[in-house]
Amino acid sequence: MKVAYVTPYYNGGCDGRFGRFHDWIHAARDGESPFEFDVYAFTACNGDETIASPPHSYLGDGAELWGSKWNKPEFVLNAPRIRGALQAGDYDLIHVLVMDTIVLPTILSLPPDVPLVVGPDIAGWSPIREGMFTRETTAERVKNRIKFGLKNLMGKTVPYDRAVAFSEHHRDIMSTFSISAERTSILRGGVADCFTPDNEISVADPPEILWVGDFNKHKGYSLFLEALAATEEPVTARLVGAGDPNEDFIEALDLEDAVTVEGFVPRSRLPELYREADLHVVPSIDETAGPNTQLEALACGTPVVVTDKKGINEYAPDDAVVSFWPRNVDSLQAALETGLAELEELTTAALRSASKFQAIHTVVDLERIYGEILAENK
């Protein structure tokens, strides 16, 4: 079985930007992959041998073009390269990660002689994502509704054989884009094998809580700081992420002696930080399928405090996670104190389940799904 993956972006360093795709691709590349594959990227940075046809980089590489107004023109300029390479290849199946107005039509312009899989990088505004887009500006609201309409148009008209999602909540979101729930399979999300535990249980004095993520409202950054300030147990916190850490707010909460602000760090440093931490906190408003940080921490054997919401709680083993709801300071404070009081038990459970969060499980799921599709198309 030979698969062609088509992605807007590729990062040979396995960082961010379609990160779970990179994790499973690298797990398949570096391990015992049950199927052959090639990767075709419209843009790339840190490219390696995994890419079958290197992008031309007319307007810049993937890092320069991410989130810029130039990425769509770059996609258009690279579309003939992708189309020609796929026509020349001998593939049993094509897997397109997104439902993009340039990426997907490029594939649909090919003769429909092999099955098509779409996802899981399909998300955005949806009427069922409560709390996710409550502070939209008028311009953002209009833009999000236009994108929602385009996704629905593609969901209704694209002749795909199967869609893939990373959680039941993600599948429900995709169904609001007119992507058939009956034809959507759920993958086990996993992370790169550098995220592994050291298999020792040792609690710092005082214990350290780790924050990894953007310093913003959606991720619950201010909520965490307020809950941390209210926590009665002696504790320290390490803050890792992008954006403004709001050090004035940290000082106003009298946390400057308890908090270390690391700022942004490369992903290669994260395994060490997870293993050093005693507890990781994920108080997000909404996630499609458990943020990468949650999976990375659990893969390192570090217990996690999480918001008890769909998508997030689907990646929260009961004995290794403390969930909290409602999503407010008092509830999060209580969850942090519970986590600190039960660290040894939680860490033992997290170490026991760590291997469940490896990306190779995603590859195994994909082999099964691809096999089902090919059997249906005989």
Q: Do both 342 and 252 map to the same domain?
A: yes
pLDDT of residue 283: 97
Which residues are CB-contacts of 32 (< 8 A; sequence separation ≥ 6)?
A: none
pTM over 0.75: yes
Q: How far is CA 150 from each of CA 68, 99, 125, rounded to the nearest angstrom? A: 20, 9, 12
pLDDT of residue 174: 97
- The residues with which 259 forms a beta bridge, in sequence order, are 237
C-alpha 130/C-alpha 285 separation (Å) is 8
* Number of domains the chain contains: 2
Q: Do both 127 and 226 map to the same domain?
A: no
pLDDT of residue 378: 81
Range list of H helices, the chain: 19-30, 62-65, 71-88, 103-108, 138-157, 168-175, 221-230, 247-252, 270-276, 292-299, 329-341, 343-353, 360-376
pLDDT of residue 320: 96
C-alpha 124/C-alpha 129 separation (Å) is 9
Q: Do both 321 and 276 map to the same domain?
A: yes
C-alpha 264/C-alpha 270 separation (Å) is 10
C-alpha 265/C-alpha 358 separation (Å) is 22
**Exposed (0-12), middle (13-18) or buried (19+): which is 9, by Cβ within 10 Å?**
buried
Intervals of the chain under pLDDT 70: 111-112
CATH of residue 56's domain is 3.40.50.2000
Structure tokens at 60: 């810049």
Q: Which domain holds residue 94?
A: 2-192+358-376
Q: Do both 29 and 168 map to the same domain?
A: yes
